[in-house]
Structure 1
Amino acid sequence: MPENFTSGLNQDTRSQMVDLLNSNLVDTVALTLAVKQAHWNLKGRGFIGVHEMLDDVADRLRDGADLMAERAVILGGYAAGTAEVVASKTTVDAYPVEESRIEVHIDALKDRFMQVGSNIRKAMDLAEEAGDEDTADLFTEVSRAIDKDAWFIGANA
């Protein structure tokens, strides 16, 4: 691993956290792409409100992904968020690309937000158990945003 910029964490903990950050990074990138897929294609009652909301949601997801990627580098690792890595490692279900009904997009996104949110909370617990409070706090911040956006999306159903 390259140089790290943290004190108090041993190499094993840093490596474990980099892996944890990257596994959640790929899911967050996949979720961001699902949000944009819905944004581009949805049609139906309430279109403009949901369409505009999804741009803001994608921005918040990108912010969370950026936090995870930068933390991985701070810990002495590499951020692994290329399209190829995301496609091969994400746990998020493939998003329907030939769908336009707003209600189908809302359900599909809500399900994926719940899955990613659950994974983030597990990562938060694992980081805390490993003694990396900063990474646990980062996951808490990301979790709050994902939960709020899941609620915003689901409220349109």
Structure 2
Amino acid sequence: MPEAFVSGLNDQTRHKMIDLLNARLADTVALTLAVKQAHWNLKGPGYIGVHELLDQVADRLREGADLMAERAVILGGHARGTVEEAAEKSTLDAYPLEIENIADHVAALKDRFLKVGEAVREAIEEASDAGDADTEDLFTEVSRQIDKDAWFIGSNAPI
């Protein structure tokens, strides 16, 4: 694909951004699966509200993943959003499979949202430093939603 066709970015910048987008995509896929794991297994007071919230959060995470995947392809790369890729490349710890208590799920998810949020904010800086304002803007949009959902989830913590 000719350089000028892809947003006017040089090859080095394009490849760097594709790698960055795929790295954050792996984390987002892993986080989405963690949210669904909690959604399926949580029990306790307040169940239905948290259960429904987590479905909405998973939908929004998928929207962010879609933005990152499509941008990687637009830049001439491939989206690497399979579960296998997420398992191999995500920076998140494996989600605990045996927890049920809502408070335990909230704590596990909150930690993961904070880690992904931090990584996405670092990606904003990397895209800015590379001169890719569009990818920077995309990561800013994803960051806002991750922070908002982290706050929604954290607001369900027991007092």
Match in the other structure for 2:66: 66
Match in the other structure for 1:43: 43
Q: In structure 1, the residue corresponding to 2:15 is in which secondary structure? A: helix
Relative distance call for 1:88 and 1:46 in structure 2 (3 A) is same
1:140 Cα offset (Å): 0.1
Superposition pairs of residues 2-151 of structure 1, within 5 angstroms: 5-151=5-151
User: Runs (4+) of structure 1 moved beyond 6 Å?
Assistant: none
1:7 Cα offset (Å): 2.7
1:8 Cα offset (Å): 1.8
Q: TM-score, normalised by structure 2?
A: 0.96
Q: In structure 1, the residue corresponding to 2:22 is in which secondary structure? A: helix
Unaligned runs of 5+ in 2: none
1:99 Cα offset (Å): 1.0
**RMSD after superposition:** 1.0
Distance across 1 between alignment mates of 2:7 and 2:74: 11
Unaligned runs of 5+ in 1: none
Distance across 2 between alignment mates of 1:67 and 1:8: 19
Equivalenced residues, count: 156
Identity %: 69
Q: TM-score, normalised by structure 1?
A: 0.97
Deviations 1:37-63 (A, max 9, x none): 000000011110000000000000000
Distance across 2 between alignment mates of 1:20 and 1:80: 11
Deviations 1:90-128 (A, max 9, x none): 101100111111000000000000000000000000000
- What one-letter code is carried by the residue in structure 2 that aligns with 1:6? V
Distance across 2 between alignment mates of 1:86 and 1:109: 17
Distance across 2 between alignment mates of 1:122 and 1:3: 29
